[in-house]
Structure 1
Amino acid sequence: MAHIYIPYLRTADGTIKRVADAFFDSPDDRLGPFLHEEPLTGWPESKVVWAKKSGPTVGFALSGNSSPD
C-alpha cells in the first residue's frame, strides 16, 4: 500500500500550519525520527507525528488519499 503523508509545521508559539502543496510518498510506515504523535483538530488529517516533542518542528500526517499500489 502506498502511504502519502502531508507535511505540517509547528512554530515556536505552537501554531500549526499544513503545507497543502506538498506531500511525502512512503512505501512503508517508517518515518524515521518522527515519533511524537499529536491529534489534529480542524484539519483534513486526524493526527500528526512530529520530529520533536515540543517547540518548532516539522511533522507528517497520513493523508486520507493513501491508496493500494
Structure 2
Amino acid sequence: MNQSFNVQGMTCGHCERAVTQAVKALDPQAQVSIDRPAGTVDVASALSREAIAAAIAEEGYTVAEPA
C-alpha cells in the first residue's frame, strides 16, 4: 500500500537516512521515497499508517496530516 506523509524537520541527508532506516526497521521490504524540499515521505509498505508515522516521530520528526 502506498502512503504519503508530510514530515517536518528533515534538513539533510542524515535526516533522510534516519527516516528511511526507521521505516525499514519495521518493514525491511518497504520502499521509501523522500522529497526533502517538499517535506514529503512516500512509503510502499503493508504497515499501517499509524505504525509508519510513529516510527518517523520516534526519530524526532513531526508527521503532519496531509493538507
Richer in helix (by share): 2
TM-score (structure 1 length as normaliser): 0.29
Richer in strand (by share): 1
TM-score (structure 2 length as normaliser): 0.29
Q: Larger radius of gyration, structure 1 or 2? A: 1
